[in-house]
Amino acid sequence: MTDIIQLLPDHVANQIAAGEVVQRPASVVKELLENAIDAGSTEIKLIIKDAGKTLVQVIDNGKGMSVTDARLSFERHATSKIKSAEDLFQINTKGFRGEALASIAAIAHVELKTKRPEDELGTAIVIEGSKVKSQDVSVTPTGTSVAVKNLFFNIPARRNFLKSDTVELRHITDEFHRVALAHPNIAFMFYHNGSELFHLPQENYRQRVVHIFGNKTNEKLVPVEEDTEVLKISGFVGKPEYSKKTRSEQFFFVNQRFIKSPYLNHAIGAAFEGLLKTGYHPSYFLNLTVDPKTIDINIHPTKTEIKFDDEHTLYAILRSAVKHSLGQFNIAPVLDFEHQSSFNTPYSYKDKAGKAPTIEVDRSFNPFSEDTQTHKSGTSGFSKVKKAPAAHWESLYVGLESKENNSGNDFSEVTFESDPETAKMFDDTHVESRKPTFQLQQKYIVSTLKSGMLIIDQNRAHQRVLYENFLKHVTIKEATSQQLLFPLQLHFTPNETKIIKDLKSELEYTGFVFSEANEKEITITGVPVGVPDSEVSIILEQLISDVENDVPDANFSASDLLAKSMAKSLAIKTGQTLNQMEQEHLINSLFACKEPNMSPANKPTFITMSADDIETKFL
């Protein structure tokens, strides 16, 4: 019997290793940017074409590499940062994984140009699928340029799993944000298909946050500073009133490395307890500095998750620091034990006894008296008043008594207007009474059927109704708008603004009216009928989130996505009470839809229970 265990060829092993490091173009961007930072660069350029599928290029002005180093950098397990196993627990650099460049070279066409400051000429290497095609001397500026072309050219299955350009560009932008926020002392430029998306100069941390997320962000930030023996915290949290439904502005950096930590995120949520509306999340941009020996960053291939020695202590310090900042800057209510001087008794009244107020009333005053009465003015407040004789007002009633006596109790002449009687179209016995409905737990609408019972999910049903209405308006390009008395000025990040500008025409077909849409702000002067002003920003944020996360790769329809997103934002929520008329209207509207059975998210809108099903429950 032959042996069944064998060593894999190098090119197959490299492709498997690439699966750990390179999931999408954003993974390549992350590895190349981190290598550029470790090279001591002060200026880094990121050039992208077709969301990284065609080209990912990173150019830096760092220290470069020698001829030998340039060639060895593409070998597996080659690194300049680790000499022994103990070094794994004292890592202060980024791109220490030796197989990063080797894995990238195994699945793409890579061109490397590098030069050290002391060398007159640099080195140029071309690699395709782990095979070195050429290595030549080259005239190149000091630093390193790595161009990765045709990603996954030799693994078509992996390339087919890539999403649309919009989604892939969002992932690249997210990685760029994480690296740029962690290193405000480095200048970054980001180009996509020839257009500049970001130009970030060397600056302080607050300026870096504002440059990435827009000028409006400056007024949203609350500084957080804490320095202990275990942990040093610096950065900012967002004010509660600017919280979002998405977690797009939540950044933890441990020793200048972006991480994801649900445990520490819970600490931030605990600090904001009582300040946020349900379903909203705070923004934060926090740098945590700890001893490298107390963390393990090798538990995840992308190093976005790490282990702490003492998580409970970090949790308590982080929660207290954020809560202290919110109270210090009057964001959260705090107890004030200082005495308010304005509550003190004035000095001149300090030793005087209080007097009860008195009211003097002239009890002899009669407004109907025939005599002229004189009242003393003074504390009572009365002055000389001359009254008209009683006969003057009594004369108003002269003659009324005689008329009453003449009429007596005879009401024969009194007539009343009434509607003419008409015959009824239907007999009362034939009028079918409406089927009763009632609301269950403010979530379901229950009604009766001939065969049993109907239970409708009010949120999903309303989503279906709104979805078909919005889709109809977008399709026929006719929608009714209501003009706003005061225009709404909304501020988004450059990437979010670009998404709204791309969907501007579809939004206008649903009823939105834009007076201005530029990189700084978006001004809206009209909204669809029935949409309150307060919901506009929520609708657009939900739309941006859906575009960034839920865009299908094939058969993508902006109109369909817009209709789904608006329906999800404006539909009746669980917990909302509906009266009898609203319940009946929702049921009628649902069954007037083309597809009443399913919500826009392909979930059932109602279920039925027959009488037999109910009887089985009693067996």
Residues with Cβ within 8 Å of 444's Cβ and at least 6 positions away in sequence, in order, are: 455, 456, 457, 458
Select the highest-mean-pLDDT range: 418-422, 516-520, 615-619: 615-619
- Cα–Cα distance, 119 to 115 (Å, whole number): 7
Decide if 490 contacts 524 (C-beta within 8 A): yes
Top CATH class of 439-608 equals: alpha beta
Q: What is the pLDDT of residues 360-405, one digit of tens each?
A: 888 888 877 765 445 444 444 444 445 555 556 666 666 665 555 5
Q: What share of the chain is helix, strand, coil (3-state, %, to 5)?
A: 35, 20, 40
| Whether the predicted pLDDT of 437 surpasses 90 | no
Q: Do the first three CATH levels of 10-200 and 439-608 match, i.e. the same topology?
A: no
Sequence spans of domains, the chain:
10-200, 205-328, 439-608
Q: What is the band of 79 on the pLDDT scale with cuts at 50, 70, 90?
A: low
* In 415-536, beta strands by DSSP E: 437-440, 444-448, 452-457, 481-490, 513-517, 522-528
Structure-token pair, residue 461? 């049903």
Residue 459 bridge partners (DSSP): none
Decide if 109 contacts 153 (C-beta within 8 A): yes
| Whether the predicted pLDDT of 26 surpasses 60 | yes
* HSE-CB for 329 with a 13 A CA cutoff: 18
| Whether the predicted pLDDT of 123 surpasses 60 | yes
Window from 149-163, 213-227, 351-365, 376-390 with minimum mean pLDDT: 376-390
pLDDT number for residue 415: 61
**Closest residue by Cα to residue 58 from 7, 114, 96, 19:** 114
Rounded to an integer, what is the distance from CA 12 to the centroid of its chain? 42
pLDDT number for residue 165: 83
> What's the rounded mean pLDDT across residues 320-331?
85
- Cα–Cα distance, 96 to 85 (Å, whole number): 13
**Closest residue by Cα to residue 190 from 38, 87, 57:** 57
Residues in the chain: 619
**Closest residue by Cα to residue 190 from 83, 45, 340:** 45
- Cα–Cα distance, 617 to 499 (Å, whole number): 52
- Indicate the helix (H) or strand (E) that contains 576: none
Residue 191 bridge partners (DSSP): 47, 196
- 3-state secondary structure (DSSP) of residue 478: coil
Q: What is the band of 555 on the pLDDT scale with cuts at 50, 70, 90?
A: very low
Q: DSSP character for 378?
A: S
Residue 145 bridge partners (DSSP): 59, 113
Question: Higher-confidence residue: 302 or 574?
Answer: 574
Q: What is the band of 511 on the pLDDT scale with cuts at 50, 70, 90?
A: confident
- Cα–Cα distance, 169 to 48 (Å, whole number): 9
Question: Higher-confidence residue: 359 or 394?
Answer: 359
Phi and psi dihedrals of 412, rounded to 5? -70, -25
Question: Higher-confidence residue: 542 or 417?
Answer: 542
| Whether the predicted pLDDT of 551 surpasses 60 | no
Assessment of whether the complete model's pTM goes beyond 0.75: no
Q: What is the pLDDT of residues 297-306, one digit of tens each?
A: 765 656 677 7
Structure-token pair, residue 607? 């279920």
> What's the rounded mean pLDDT across residues 405-431?
51
> What's the rounded mean pLDDT across residues 7-12?
74
Structure-token pair, residue 444? 């379901």
Q: What is the band of 84 on the pLDDT scale with cuts at 50, 70, 90?
A: low
Decide if 314 contacts 308 (C-beta within 8 A): yes
**Closest residue by Cα to residue 528 from 497, 507, 546:** 507
Mean pLDDT of all residues belonging to the chain: 80
Strands 187-192 and 43-49: parallel
Angle at 227 between CA 226 and CA 229, to 5 degrees: 140
Is the domain 10-200 a CATH 3.40.228.10 member? no
CATH of span 205-328? 3.30.230.10
Window from 311-325, 373-387, 454-468 with minimum mean pLDDT: 373-387
- Cα–Cα distance, 597 to 608 (Å, whole number): 11
| Whether the predicted pLDDT of 419 surpasses 60 | no
pLDDT number for residue 366: 81
- Cα–Cα distance, 521 to 216 (Å, whole number): 9
